[in-house]
Copies of this chain bind each other. A is one copy, B any other.
Amino acid sequence: MTQQKKYRPLDAMIYPRFEGIRTFMRLPHETNLTEVDFAIVGVPFDTGATFRVGARFGPEGIRNNSLLLRPYHPTHAVNIFTWLSAVDYGDLPITPGYLAESHAQIEAGATAVFDADVTPIFLGGDHSISLPLLRAAYKKYGPLALIHFDAHSDLWPGYFGGKDTHGTPFARAVEAGLIDTSRSSQIGLRGPVYDEADMTLSIDAGFHVVTGPQLHAQGIPKTVEQVLERVGLGPVYLSFDIDFVDPAFAPGTGTPEVGGFSGADCLQLLRGLVGVDFVAYDLVEVLPAYDPAQVTALLAANLVYEFLALTAVQKRKSGK
């Protein structure tokens, strides 16, 4: 057990859930990370997007749709704020339109968070942000296992003459040795590609792959088992591109792919990952301007909540 944690959400018995400044779950907005276990960190950078754009408003959309989240997670039977002191750190500074500069800013900003011994959830932003985030994580943890939910492998060598975009972060990360692919999985890949060679990028890089059709065919329990077996011990980075989800459940994203997964599928997958040593999470590619019923941002907020719960369970287990 543990004493009262320093930071927790606004009290819903005094301030109804539609009240208050829109931080994630109405947590305190705090940039001093003392006595903080966990931080929500916005990274509203979307210059890496190659089709629909607007993920810079992803953190706003996710925060606005996180108001209904309550502290106790029934499936894990854990009250998150019994185990975690959590804050909303705000957004990292970036320079819209300038990828290299922004990636440097993101790496610097994330490094400060890791240096404070805080577990971060980064809210994208487009998927290109995972590269500087992995660079920052690497400085603290060395090579990390990656558990990657996505419709796309994001391992392309580069677009338009080699340029980095949201389709390339893991190509760069693998090249730089940031990822231990022998412990890593990519889940949900689907949709048409440019040519046959694109199909072997993940395998060539050393990932375990469960494509979208394979996941539909083999089911979630077997997939969770494979991922857990693969990941073993050691630090893990979870990257969740919302286009893993079917467009009916998550229309508000940059490169939607039909034939995806439901919200319930996502919850079941994530709830299976108990015991993994997650040191950082990102959730990317939420585009509120394409989300008229706000279901994408609502689902994203709930997935972030699952990340919080996974870490709370880790904490409970470790007795800290």
Contact = CB atoms under 8 A, between A and B. Distances in A.
Interface of A: 12-23, 29, 42, 44, 46-54, 56-57, 60, 63-64, 67-75, 77, 79, 88, 90-91, 93-99, 101, 159-161, 163-165, 190-196, 198-199, 211-213, 216, 246-249, 251-252, 255-260, 262-264, 266-268, 289-295, 298-299, 302, 305
Contacts of A77: 196, 199
B95 A16 contact: yes
Contacts of A68: 51, 191, 255-257
27 contacts: A16-B51, A16-B96, A19-B42, A22-B63, A48-B97, A53-B54, A53-B56, A54-B54, A68-B257, A70-B194, A71-B192, A71-B195, A74-B199, A75-B213, A95-B160, A97-B99, A97-B163, A98-B160, A101-B163, A213-B268, A247-B249, A247-B263, A247-B293, A248-B249, A248-B262, A251-B295, A258-B266
| Chain A facing B: main interface SS | loop
A283 to B, nearest CB: 14
Report the 4 A-B pairs with minimum CB-CB distance, sorted nearest first.
Answer: A251-B293, A289-B289, A258-B263, A70-B192
